[in-house]
Structure 1
Amino acid sequence: MKRRKWLKLVLMTTLAASMLSACGGINSSSSNEGANAGSASEASAGGSGEKINLKLWGAVPVEAGPQEVIDNWNKENPDIQVEYVRYVNDDPGNLKLDTALITAQDADLFINYTINRLQKRVDAGVALDLSSKTDYNIDEQMGPDAAQWKIGDKYYGIPTKKNMLFIWLNKNMLDEAGLPVPSVDWTWDDLREYAKKLTKENVYGLMQHDAAFTATIDGTIAGLGVTKPDGTSNFDNDLWKQQLQTVHDMMFVDKSTPEYGEQVTSKMPVDTNFLKGEAAMLAAGEFIFRNANNQKEFPHDFKIAFATIPKVTADQKDYKYAGGLGDMLSVNAKSKNQDAAWKFAKWYADGGMLPMASGGRIPSSKSVDNQQAMELLLKGNEDSYDTASLNNVVFGQFPSFQLNVPQQALDARKEEYEKYFLNEQDIDTTLTNMTKRHQDYIK
């Protein structure tokens, strides 16, 4: 009876948190052991002749690579069979996953897409602490950016892919307007001028995917510090004010980007719009490759180039780029088959996930050849991309971050900037309210 009451309380808490948020390192021996061998208990997983069945939850559509990954594993490992469960990476989808994790039902492995989601799962006791796993060195395999995913100086999963948001460019439109592919260090003033020159009838200069909408202000606060030296909120900084004003002016003065209300209420498919030639630039991430490479469903005849997400100002110090590593693969601490799940996780991270490269998910492990990943990414579409800018941006090295701010504070921030972009309040009121609400969470 006590267990049932506890479980009910946890589920209610999870539901309430989701509704509210609508919106030490691992010691190891050789990394090769982690890539090719499991622990003794893993070697015996399924050794009794009984087949182990695992379920992996992820947000990527099964046809965009996950099914091929699972098929490859299942063919090589008849004693440990894995099934992929697709969930949508939004609040209802994450609630569905969290419920499965807490109840230990049908969720042995799961992929986290933000550190805030992972933190909640660590707090709920469903993400396995990997400190005891001495057969795989995450820092060595994935590089220094992996440490951004540590919680309390511990890993609760393996960050498996290179992560980055950038500007997709219709190079044909740039050429027609006499505009070069932007340099790495361009600014939002530069982007605004590009957008004005590229805007024409039925074509926006810029569209932004929801995932990229706050990339610049996030990268700014990551460099400035979420709080000031005195411990108070830094949400009222001048760079945020300038950036938000620039985007507002692009909406209502230049009309070079969709008005926020129109984009949200119509659920504007900005990636499709870009590929149809209805936008000259698109702020988004590598996940757009799965559509851009699908010429059957998203036909287009223009070459695509790439630029970084711009800074606010040219002299901006300590600006960081939204990216680093992503797709944090965790083992459910409540799974009855943790050893088998851990064996799969290592295999997936060190090359098993390669079939997903065609959809833009570039493995981060040093065991994977970047050239092989790039060939898979471009296979059959080599002429569709400007390879120079693709190498500079998509495969480039930039100072990155994982924004570690409570989800409630981010949701409050969004509520305030939405009011500004809906012309329900001015910029100064917006910054004041953002700061006050963040300060309340700090307290």
Structure 2
Amino acid sequence: MKKKSVGFVVILMIVAALSACSSNNNNSQGTSGQAGSSNGSSDKVVNLTFWGGVPAEAGPQEIVDTWNKQNPNIQVTYVRYVNDDSGNLKLDTALVSGQNVDIFANYTKPLLSKRVSSGAALDLSPFSEYNIDDKMGAGAKEWLVDDKYYALPTKRNMHFVWLNKDALDEAGLPVPTDWTLADVEKYAKALQTDTRWGYASFPFWRDVVSFDGSLAVQGSVKEDGTSNFDAPIVGEALQQQYDMMHTSKVSPPISLIETTKMNLIAEFLGNKVAMLNAGEWVFRDANNLTDYPRDFTAAFAPLPRMTEGQDDFRYLGGLGDAIAINAKSEHTKEAWEFLKWYADGGMLPQAAGGRIPASKDADQAKAIELLLGDLKDKYDLESLERVLSNELPTFQVSLPQEVLDIRTEEFDKYYIKAQSLEEAIQNVVKRHNEFLKRN
């Protein structure tokens, strides 16, 4: 019995020693808090794995191939995860379980915040030689978590409305330069046909582009610490969205989009939707005339405000594609070298799909050239230049994911006629207040 006890103690000592070694190997920041690199000689090849949501063939593979050719001692492999609920769960699982992830892209602030809280994202503060604010501009601050950068925002987020200009011309309508959600409904009525919806918006942000532009100024929480989701602007926005789905019927209902798995980008490019509330990522398919043949010119308009002359409004936009380094990576220094190169121009091969670099050191003219390629005649260049160069005040979605989920659940019940508008708002406010008390 005594021998067994001694043996057990020895085993515990061995396990502890091995754990300490493993911890030292995996913690590349060390006790000094400075970002470090892998152990070993300088000629050792370091292998990094970069997880992102863009298909490899849409730029990322060319990016890593270029880097790998120029940097034989630091080789990067790209792993694509789909940027949806299941894809983000796959990434989070890989991060928690210690799978091979050195660098990973974050597409929303709530998801980044969640990964920071779990200890998955590395604090970038020690890399002080690279001034993120100076490189990326004031919009970068929207990605701060607890006043620190845990990810480097790399692209300009551009959200706008895509329009079928041929349909506009036939209806005698100008390309909007400043409009409201009510104007959108008027345009949609004029553009709708038996085979074409007038307007469509992606279900996952139907609220964000309507009332959240106002709440970005007002705040989602009142001064007394209670929910502001009962602000008048919220009900007005929901009512207008509902009316377009069920009263004027110019927009496909959410239930139809989700049950039929409607591909809204394909619907727009196939002339089955006249106006699509989307953004720059649509270029990836719009430039692919093989899979999405298009016989009309695409024009562009800014996102609609709620009311005319509205001052308390911000436009969904800012910066996106916030790339983080896994805090448990053994090669944080090498990952940072790749990330700097990527942000300052290495990411250009993705410009053809609409990903315009945010860094002031990236070649913006080259990015626009890659964006349009030889398809300039397929776009209304005047309106495109207008939305690309605008200096409108923007906001980044920063609400906790749990709050976003609460809103989606309750507002969807309203959109599918399972509860009234008043009930939807009351339920959201109640659940939001409960969340605020817990947190």
TM-score (norm 2): 0.90
1:205 aligns with 2:198: yes
Residues 73/46 of structure 1: CA separation in 2 closer, same or farther (3 Å cut): farther
Report SS of the residue matched to 2:198.
Answer: strand
Q: Is the 8 A contact 2:36 2:332 kept in 1?
A: no
Question: Which runs of structure 2 are paired with 1:431-442 in the superposition (5 Å)?
Answer: 431-442=425-436
Report SS of the residue matched to 2:408.
Answer: helix
User: Corresponding residue for 1:280?
Assistant: 274
User: Corresponding residue for 1:81?
Assistant: 75
Q: What runs of 5+ residues in structure 1 fail to find an aligned partner?
A: 5-38
- In the aligned structure 2, how far is the partner of 1:168 from the partner of 1:314? 21
Report SS of the residue matched to 2:78.
Answer: strand
Q: Is the 8 A contact 1:165 1:212 kept in 2?
A: no
Alignment root-mean-square deviation, CA: 2.0
User: Corresponding residue for 1:345?
Assistant: 339
Question: Which runs of structure 2 are paired with 1:266-415 in the superposition (5 Å)?
Answer: 266-415=260-409
- In the aligned structure 2, how far is the partner of 1:40 from the partner of 1:112? 21
Report SS of the residue matched to 2:330.
Answer: coil
User: Corresponding residue for 2:156?
Assistant: 162
Q: Is the 8 A contact 2:345 2:363 kept in 1?
A: no
Amino acid corresponding to residue 187 of structure 1 in structure 2: T
User: Corresponding residue for 2:238?
Assistant: 244
Tell me which of 162, 183, 187 is aligned to 1:190: 183
Amino acid corresponding to residue 164 of structure 2 in structure 1: N
Tell me which of 96, 106, 116 is aligned to 2:100: 106
Deviations 1:313-362 (A, max 9, x none): 01323211111000001110100011110000000000000000000000
Q: What runs of 5+ residues in structure 2 fail to find an aligned partner?
A: 1-11, 17-33
Shift of 1:393: 0.9
Amino acid corresponding to residue 255 of structure 1 in structure 2: K
| Greater displacement, 96-105 / 299-308 | 96-105
Deviations 1:76-116 (A, max 9, x none): 01111000000011222112111222233210000000111
Shift of 1:217: 2.1
Shift of 1:41: 6.4
- In the aligned structure 2, how far is the partner of 1:430 from the partner of 1:211? 17
Residues 48/227 of structure 1: CA separation in 2 closer, same or farther (3 Å cut): same
Deviations 1:149-174 (A, max 9, x none): 00111000110000022100000000
Residues 424/211 of structure 1: CA separation in 2 closer, same or farther (3 Å cut): closer
% same residue: 50
User: Corresponding residue for 1:227?
Assistant: 221
Q: Is the 8 A contact 2:35 2:333 kept in 1?
A: no
User: Corresponding residue for 1:137?
Assistant: 131
Residues 47/394 of structure 1: CA separation in 2 closer, same or farther (3 Å cut): farther
Report SS of the residue matched to 2:289.
Answer: coil
Tell me which of 51, 75, 88 is aligned to 1:57: 51
Report SS of the residue matched to 2:125.
Answer: helix
Shift of 1:439: 0.9
User: Corresponding residue for 1:25?
Assistant: none
| Greater displacement, 102-111 / 393-402 | 393-402
1:94 aligns with 2:100: no
| Greater displacement, 207-216 / 315-324 | 207-216
How many residues were matched structurally? 408
- In the aligned structure 1, how far is the partner of 2:331 from the partner of 2:64? 17
Amino acid corresponding to residue 197 of structure 2 in structure 1: Y
- In the aligned structure 1, how far is the partner of 2:245 from the partner of 2:36? 59
Amino acid corresponding to residue 387 of structure 1 in structure 2: L
Shift of 1:220: 1.9
Amino acid corresponding to residue 378 of structure 2 in structure 1: S
Q: Is the 8 A contact 1:128 1:333 kept in 2?
A: yes
Q: Is the 8 A contact 1:45 1:339 kept in 2?
A: no
Q: Is the 8 A contact 1:167 1:308 kept in 2?
A: yes
Shift of 1:48: 2.8
- In the aligned structure 2, how far is the partner of 1:388 from the partner of 1:45? 54
Amino acid corresponding to residue 342 of structure 1 in structure 2: W
